[in-house]
Amino acid sequence: LRMFGKKSLQRRKNKMKLNFKAAKQNTRLVTFKVDPTTSKNLTSLRALYSEEAKRRVTTGEIVKQLINLHHADVFKMEKQNDS
Protein backbone atom coordinates (compact mmCIF):
# COMPACT_ATOMS: atom_id res chain seq x y z
CA LEU A 1 0.00 0.00 0.00
CA ARG A 2 1.59 3.25 -1.17
CA MET A 3 0.07 6.36 0.41
CA PHE A 4 2.20 9.02 -1.27
CA GLY A 5 3.04 9.76 -4.89
CA LYS A 6 6.58 10.53 -6.06
CA LYS A 7 5.87 14.27 -6.38
CA SER A 8 4.51 14.61 -2.83
CA LEU A 9 7.53 12.71 -1.46
CA GLN A 10 9.88 15.08 -3.29
CA ARG A 11 8.08 18.15 -1.92
CA ARG A 12 8.41 16.85 1.63
CA LYS A 13 12.18 16.28 1.45
CA ASN A 14 12.89 19.80 2.73
CA LYS A 15 10.23 19.66 5.45
CA MET A 16 10.63 18.62 9.07
CA LYS A 17 11.79 15.01 9.22
CA LEU A 18 12.13 12.70 12.18
CA ASN A 19 15.04 10.27 12.60
CA PHE A 20 14.62 6.77 13.98
CA LYS A 21 17.48 4.61 15.23
CA ALA A 22 17.48 0.91 16.03
CA ALA A 23 17.87 1.39 19.80
CA LYS A 24 14.97 2.56 21.94
CA GLN A 25 15.09 4.26 25.34
CA ASN A 26 13.08 3.27 28.41
CA THR A 27 9.54 4.53 28.13
CA ARG A 28 6.46 5.49 30.15
CA LEU A 29 2.91 4.62 29.15
CA VAL A 30 0.81 7.51 27.79
CA THR A 31 -2.71 7.00 26.46
CA PHE A 32 -4.67 9.41 24.28
CA LYS A 33 -7.56 9.41 21.86
CA VAL A 34 -7.55 10.93 18.37
CA ASP A 35 -10.22 11.76 15.82
CA PRO A 36 -10.51 9.74 12.59
CA THR A 37 -8.59 12.30 10.48
CA THR A 38 -5.68 12.40 12.94
CA SER A 39 -5.68 8.60 13.08
CA LYS A 40 -5.44 8.41 9.28
CA ASN A 41 -2.62 10.97 9.25
CA LEU A 42 -0.77 9.07 11.97
CA THR A 43 -1.09 5.83 10.00
CA SER A 44 0.38 7.57 6.94
CA LEU A 45 3.29 8.93 8.97
CA ARG A 46 3.93 5.54 10.56
CA ALA A 47 4.00 3.89 7.12
CA LEU A 48 6.34 6.55 5.70
CA TYR A 49 8.82 6.40 8.58
CA SER A 50 8.68 2.60 8.75
CA GLU A 51 9.56 2.43 5.06
CA GLU A 52 12.43 4.91 5.47
CA ALA A 53 13.80 3.22 8.59
CA LYS A 54 13.34 -0.25 7.07
CA ARG A 55 11.68 -1.36 10.31
CA ARG A 56 8.37 -0.87 12.10
CA VAL A 57 8.23 2.62 13.62
CA THR A 58 5.68 2.89 16.43
CA THR A 59 3.22 5.65 17.25
CA GLY A 60 5.05 6.20 20.52
CA GLU A 61 8.34 6.85 18.74
CA ILE A 62 6.71 9.43 16.47
CA VAL A 63 4.94 11.18 19.34
CA LYS A 64 8.13 11.29 21.45
CA GLN A 65 10.14 12.93 18.68
CA LEU A 66 7.37 15.43 17.91
CA ILE A 67 7.13 16.41 21.59
CA ASN A 68 10.89 16.84 21.89
CA LEU A 69 11.13 18.88 18.66
CA HIS A 70 8.27 21.13 19.73
CA HIS A 71 9.78 21.57 23.21
CA ALA A 72 13.12 22.58 21.71
CA ASP A 73 11.45 25.09 19.36
CA VAL A 74 9.27 26.64 22.07
CA PHE A 75 12.08 27.09 24.56
CA LYS A 76 14.49 28.30 21.86
CA MET A 77 11.96 31.01 20.99
CA GLU A 78 11.56 31.87 24.68
CA LYS A 79 15.32 32.27 25.11
CA GLN A 80 15.47 34.55 22.04
CA ASN A 81 12.64 36.71 23.41
CA ASP A 82 14.38 37.01 26.81
CA SER A 83 17.57 38.31 25.17
The verdict on pTM exceeding 0.85 is: no
In whole angstroms, what is the distance from residue 42 CA to residue 38 CA?
A: 6
pLDDT in tens, 29-43: 889 899 999 999 999
Please tell me the predicted confidence (pLDDT) of residue 1.
44
Q: H-type helices in 14-58, by residue range? A: 36-53
d(CA 44, CA 79): 34
pLDDT at res. 83: 65
Predicted confidence band of residue 7 (pLDDT cuts 50, 70, 90): low
pLDDT value for 43: 96
Sign of torsion over alpha carbons 75, 77, 60, 19: negative
**Using an 8 Å Cβ cutoff, are 4 and 48 in contact?**
yes
